[in-house]
Structure 1
Amino acid sequence: MKTSITTFVALALASLSLATPTVKRHGPGKRGLVWPYYNGGLDPGRLNDGQGTVNLIYDYETYNPPSTNGNGGLNFIGMQRCLDCDSSPISQLATRQQQSGFATVFTLNEPDQNGITPQQAADWYKQHINPLTIKKALPAVSSSANAGQGLDWVQQMVSACGGGCFYDYINIHWYGQNFAQFQAHVNDAHARFPNNQIVVTEFALQNPAGGQADQLNFFKQAFAFLDSASFVAMYFPFVATSPSLFQSNDPAGAGFVGTGSTLYNNDGSISAVGQLLLSA
């Protein structure tokens, strides 16, 4: 059969269009939402673009995220944030994991700031966390550089475990003045624990003078760095709420961080920082 040049070109272009993806996925699947308990009127699905750019969510608890849309189609990570909480009883951890089906668990929120010793945490972890046959993170520590806090506390807990704690991730928080400090802290965590993946479950500038503009500039650099760091498994900018909800429900936190890093606007739409999380 004779084929004209015009027909051949048309067929070639059609073949090329089928072979080329029409949608660009921005994120590498590391990005997630820190979802506070007071977010019942917000929808995490607004930050789910269907491409996996943002694909994770945690709410400091072992119950599903309070919202107008459940987990918004994101992968929920349970967190046993304290030794035993009324909201997340340690006796219910295994049952809630089976009911919700979360495949990763975070543990203890900043125990280095809450009077929990590394030995106490190690004993608790062996009893309650080791038996879970899912991915596990060591307790989330602050970025304090004081002796016995922050990364020092984690090292002391690992020593107290004596090889008997089973974990997949080192969990860190960071608040500070600039990107260089943040990058140095994440790299320090990697240097101390070179054989483990890092998860950064809270981070933002500490109440910068430039508000949202300064946070945006910081996050642009931070997201690019974290995306390129093979040793970083997940990261969660603080915080997935609105300025008004943050201020009214956690005034101390809002005073410490400022409201420029929130991922939502007061009307429930996505903020400039939230848009950056979806597009950077």
Structure 2
Amino acid sequence: MSAIASNSTKRGLCWPWNNPASSFKLFSPSAIPWLYNWELWDPRASGVYAPAEYVPMCRTQKEVSQVPGYFSNCYAKNFLGFNEPDLPAAYGGDYISPFDASVLWKQYIQPIKLKCGTALGAPGVTNGVGSGWGTDWLRQFFSHCNFPSCTFDFLPIHWYGNSVSQFKAHIINVHSLFPNYPLWITEFQFTDVSSTVTAGYVRETLQWLDAQPYVARYSMFGPMNSPNMAGILNGAMVTDDLSQLTEVGKIYAGLA
């Protein structure tokens, strides 16, 4: 029998905006001590999951002009940059060219580092391959947004696929390409496999992530029920009636 996946301070929640506040009770901030919600606003009601750290994100270029206002009181110690800026609109994304993203970063995001000392996460790219995708988009972005006009404290990345070996290979490859940045895997999930297979994959993956010194944090998609899972039903952590955790959710919460 596989060992229970250990709780890790690396582990976080990528919280959907329409999750009810009651769903927070299914997770423990002592085991999962940080969260984000793809937005600049904190999704927690007063006192709900309060001990955890909230990490804001500027999801698209539409929100970037709001960043200085949100940071008027330096409300966060970590910040996530653009979400999947390499994903074209034809695939449902909010594409930003590497150059345009660099201009916006210098104007709106880099100043919060100077004002607040906030740790900045670079734009979180997909695991797409080829010119203009994934790490190639990021390489182009870094060529336009480099020191000292741009600084980055960690590198958020996403991964979706159907095997643990593919997942590990991608993370190892990104680390080899950008060895100076701690990695945050802010979205990952297994596709085209059953819930039972997913549970086994998740257990193995969490143990592996916890053991990698260059992986600073991770958050698996997603702490939600299947209607919110963008078609990846096998990875839902919360039952459809929102009353309890699925087997995948129990593993992620450190309960199984």
TM-score, normalization by structure 1: 0.79
User: In the superposition, relative to structure 1, how do residues 70 and 92 fare at CA in structure 2: closer, same or farther (>3 Å)?
Assistant: farther
User: In the superposition, relative to structure 1, how do residues 239 and 67 fare at CA in structure 2: closer, same or farther (>3 Å)?
Assistant: farther
User: How many Å separate the matches in 1 of 2:184 and 2:199?
Assistant: 21
- Structure 2: which 5+ runs fail to align? 88-93
Partner of 1:224: 207
RMSD: 2.1
Q: Quick check: 1:32 aligned with 2:12?
A: yes
Aligned-pair CA distance for 1:220: 1.1
Among 130, 139, 162, which residue is 2:146 paired with?
162
User: In the superposition, relative to structure 1, how do residues 122 and 91 fare at CA in structure 2: closer, same or farther (>3 Å)?
Assistant: closer
Partner of 2:241: 267
Runs of 4+ in 1 over 6 A off after TM superposition: none
Quick check: 1:44–1:67 contact (8 Å CA) kept in 2?
Answer: no
Partner of 1:144: 128
Give 1:19-168 correspondences, 5 Å limit.
26-48=6-28, 52-65=30-43, 70-85=48-63, 90-98=64-72, 101-113=75-87, 114-132=94-112, 133-163=117-147, 164-168=149-153
Aligned-pair CA distance for 1:108: 0.8
User: How many Å separate the matches in 1 of 2:172 and 2:69?
Assistant: 36
Among 148, 151, 166, which residue is 1:181 paired with?
166
Aligned-pair CA distance for 1:101: 2.1
- Structure 1: which 5+ runs fail to align? 1-24, 248-252
User: In the superposition, relative to structure 1, how do residues 46 and 68 fare at CA in structure 2: closer, same or farther (>3 Å)?
Assistant: farther
Partner of 2:251: 276
Aligned-pair CA distance for 1:162: 3.2
* Matched pairs, number: 239
Aligned-pair CA distance for 1:67: 6.1
Aligned-pair CA distance for 1:96: 2.2
Partner of 2:91: none
Aligned-pair CA distance for 1:221: 1.4
Quick check: 1:65–1:71 contact (8 Å CA) kept in 2?
Answer: no
Q: Using CA pairs under 8 Å that are at least 6 residues apart, name the structure with larger relative contact order, 1 or 2.
A: 2
Structure 1 residues 202-253: Cα deviation after superposition (integer angstroms, max 9, x where no partner) = 0001232x2x112111111110111001001110110111124x16xxxxx2
User: How many Å separate the matches in 2 of 1:259 and 1:100?
Assistant: 37
User: How many Å separate the matches in 1 of 2:48 and 2:83?
Assistant: 23
Quick check: 2:121–2:156 contact (8 Å CA) kept in 1?
Answer: yes
User: In the superposition, relative to structure 1, how do residues 147 and 26 fare at CA in structure 2: closer, same or farther (>3 Å)?
Assistant: same
User: How many Å separate the matches in 2 of 1:195 and 1:100?
Assistant: 26
TM-score, normalization by structure 2: 0.86
Structure 1 residues 125-179: Cα deviation after superposition (integer angstroms, max 9, x where no partner) = 1111111120110111000012221011111111111322111111110001100
Structure 1 residues 76-132: Cα deviation after superposition (integer angstroms, max 9, x where no partner) = 1000001123xxxx3332332355822111011111013311111111111111111
Larger radius of gyration: 1
Among 199, 219, 230, which residue is 2:184 paired with?
199
